[in-house]
Chain A
Amino acid sequence: MGEFGNNGLQDPAYMAQRIAACEREIQKGIIGQREIIRQVMLAMLTGGNVLLEGMPGLGKTRLVSTISKVFDLSFKRIQFTPDLMPSDVTGTNIIIKNEQGNAFSFERGPIFANLILADEINRATPKTQSALLEAMQEHTVTVGNDSHALTEPFFVLATQNPIENEGTYPLPEAQLDRFMFKILVRFPSKEELKGIVTLTEGSQEPDIIKQMDSAGLLAARALINQIPIADAVMDYLLEIVMQTHSANPYIKEGASPRAAQALIRASRAKAFLEGRFNVSFQDVKETAFPVLRHRILLSFDAVSEGVNEDNVIQKILEGTKQ
């Protein structure tokens, strides 16, 4: 068990305080992007994987490394390139010589860490991308006939560049569905940019202090799973997911049941982060965007009319009665 002790980990109020402290600590290393930090925190508290989409240089890698420090998690970065092989990610069996002679031994790949930054994931081939599938969903890696459990907690934070399409392999729907959130990292405001420049170009880097360990994170996740949801809120949440399957000229394919699960977990985590022990309609509304935007396949009409996923989700939210 971690340094906070058993009693503290069982105390929801205390855990809520610790998590709030973690959020504040992350904000010390990342200027602005509060919403991004909040959403990444939500994903971590519910054990979800995150797809960060944004231009290079917006602090995605810095965000992940700061989180790893705050939560005291092992962190590995994998730069995805077209020639990256699955074994480069998962690891491979190698022949080693020992006292008994030659034998195969599994050499762990970079995926064996708590926090994986899959940088520019869409530059790798689908074969390599799919190497992540099992790890993301089952938290195991199978090489040969052996399955190897990954260290808990395990998170994948993948990034992709929305502009450069040449030489990229868009993620297939099945893989996209395994990301709990798709977070759009937008360009910072002038004020935020000033803060970033001051922070990064200064002589002194901010001192990021560990606020919680992996045990604390797992305990928080267990607590969050117990947060009650009122029937009315649950109905509202499910109705939103169902609405993505109703007749909508802008939707070609709606969200999967996994979207509903993700929405429930994210809403609970958001309530917990805000110091509440129940899920509100507002929690559902706010988490619907990162949960649903990569799970909705837009129709040709939407693309031709310049309607994006967020517009469609906004319409659904407006049309769903609480």
Chain B
Amino acid sequence: MSQKAFIKIIQSYCFRLNVAQFIKKAVFVLYIGAGVGILLQAIAFIIPFYYAGGCTIIILILVLLTAVVLAFIKRKNMEQTALVMDRFGFEERIVTAYGNLEKEGALVELQRTDAMNQLQLQRDKIRIAILPSWKLIVGLAGLFAILIVLALMPSAMKERARELHHIREAAREKTEEIEEILEALEELSQEQDLTVAQQAALQEMAESLQASQEELQQASSMEMMKAASQKLEYRYEHTGNTLATLAESLRNGATVSSVTAESMQALSEKLRGMHEAELAQGTAGQPGNQNGTGQNGQPGNQNGTGQNGQSGDQNGAGQGGQSAEGGTNGSNGQGDLNNGSGIGRGTGTSSTPHDYVSIPNEIAESENLTGNAVNHDASEYFYAQNGLSWEGTHMSHEAVIGSYEQNAYEGIAAGKYPSGMEEIIKAYFSNFN
């Protein structure tokens, strides 16, 4: 055997050894990665953990990278390979010969020849397995199978995690949007020529939007998110209007530069635009969820306080309201075109801005709720809180009454009430109209 062939043999075993080492390390770290992945997937069944899948993939990639790095750091060089080869009964002949390749001397040459001869004769003794034992591989495959099953298995918690994720994403986007507006408001408030009242108004707007920011960040359900969005939508509009008013007054004044007024106007328009966008999003995204209250400027909003905005007929005392969307039209409406006396019911909408009030526990008797449902008064509470009322926490009188009325009529239809009470119930609700 020539010296070149001797080196080539060691090189081939060196490569094989390093590949085997990498695979061994990869299997080891993949065991760890799969174990951690299974743990993460199991956690995703217990608590909402949207990123369980992503984390598992990242961990698997990281452990594989670790295996590559470890295998590279601990890679065997030629001398170490020769030592490994010697373990197959060569009694350190190969490593000695390799270490003395450049040296000369009778005994050194004799040793080299002896090593090469032995290697040629007994090369088949050297067995360096590239793959680990089949038991390890089967075990790893089993772990991955469990991991995949767990990852694909649906569960309520996973659904919840997905929902929360979407909420947080939406909240994050809106929070960033609010942040921009807050910065713009902050800049406007720096204008020294603004009056104290104007600055206070700007401050109030900022606080109002900050409150929305907090609500969005704390939203943990679709309902909370929806409520927070509605508040935000209102606040956009309100802030936009207030800014427009301020801008107008600034334009009329002499002390403030027109640039500030223009900035305010621009911000006002931006906010209004955002309000409209929110509206469009709300309408498009949440069909049928308005319970027929038709806020968000749905049909019927043009009628101001006139609930039952479209009576059953022109002359009658029709009671049937018109549902804005998804509501029930006056199915029980009776009457004709000329003299109808229908008793139709519905969840008619007649909201204008600031048109919502708290769900009345005690109609007109709460210290915060002094409006009268019968008179269609506006709620003081509503005004006291800068008009921050919205579905979920506050409803229009009409909606509340409509809901009760609907239940009552359904009860009548189902025969729930004693005979004689039906007319009383109908009369009771008629008084509201």
* A residues whose Cβ falls under 8 Å from a Cβ of B: 10, 12-13, 223, 226-233, 276-282, 322
Give the docked Cα–Cα distance between A230 and B107 (Å).
14
Give the docked Cα–Cα distance between A232 and B98 (Å).
12
With both beta carbons as reference points, the residue of chain B lying nearest to A282 in the complex is identified as B91
Give the docked Cα–Cα distance between A229 and B92 (Å).
9
B232 within 8 A of A: no
**A277 and B99 in contact (CB under 8 A), knowing A230-B92, A282-B91?**
no
| Minimum C-beta distance from A320 to chain B (A) | 15
Are A276 and B106 within 8 A (Cβ)?
Answer: no
Give the docked Cα–Cα distance between A233 and B92 (Å).
8
With both beta carbons as reference points, the residue of chain B lying nearest to A236 in the complex is identified as B92
Question: Which residues of A sit under 8 angstroms from B79, Cβ to Cβ?
Answer: 231-232
| Minimum C-beta distance from A130 to chain B (A) | 38
**A276 and B95 in contact (CB under 8 A), knowing A226-B105, A226-B107, A228-B111?**
no
Are B97 and A278 within 8 A (Cβ)?
Answer: yes
B219 within 8 A of A: no
With both beta carbons as reference points, the residue of chain B lying nearest to A13 in the complex is identified as B110
- List CB contacts (< 8 Å) of B71-93 with chain A: 79, 83, 86, 91-93
Main secondary structure, interface of B, reads helix
Give the docked Cα–Cα distance between A20 and B8 (Å).
35
B263 within 8 A of A: no
Q: Name 7 extra pairs, CB < 8 A, besides A12-B106, A229-B96, A282-B91.
A: A227-B111, A230-B99, A232-B79, A233-B95, A278-B114, A279-B92, A280-B92
Question: Which residues of B sit under 8 angstroms from A12, Cβ to Cβ?
Answer: 106-107, 110
Question: Which residues of B sit under 8 angstroms from A231, Cβ to Cβ?
Answer: 79, 99
Give the docked Cα–Cα distance between A228 and B115 (Å).
12
Are A278 and B111 within 8 A (Cβ)?
Answer: yes
Question: Which residues of A sit under 8 angstroms from B368, Cβ to Cβ?
Answer: none
Q: List 26 A-B contacts (CB under 8 A).
A: A10-B106, A12-B106, A12-B107, A223-B107, A226-B105, A226-B106, A226-B107, A228-B96, A228-B100, A228-B103, A228-B107, A228-B111, A230-B95, A231-B79, A233-B92, A233-B96, A276-B114, A277-B107, A277-B110, A278-B96, A278-B97, A278-B114, A278-B115, A279-B92, A280-B92, A282-B91
Most buried by A among B92, B100, B107, B115: B92
Question: Which residues of A sit under 8 angstroms from B107, Cβ to Cβ?
Answer: 12, 223, 226-228, 277
Are B99 and A228 within 8 A (Cβ)?
Answer: yes
B20 within 8 A of A: no
| Minimum C-beta distance from B114 to chain A (A) | 6
Give the docked Cα–Cα distance between A230 and B79 (Å).
10
Question: Which residues of A sit under 8 angstroms from B103, Cβ to Cβ?
Answer: 228
Most buried by A among B97, B103, B107: B107
Give the docked Cα–Cα distance between A279 and B91 (Å).
8
Give the docked Cα–Cα distance between A13 and B100 (Å).
20
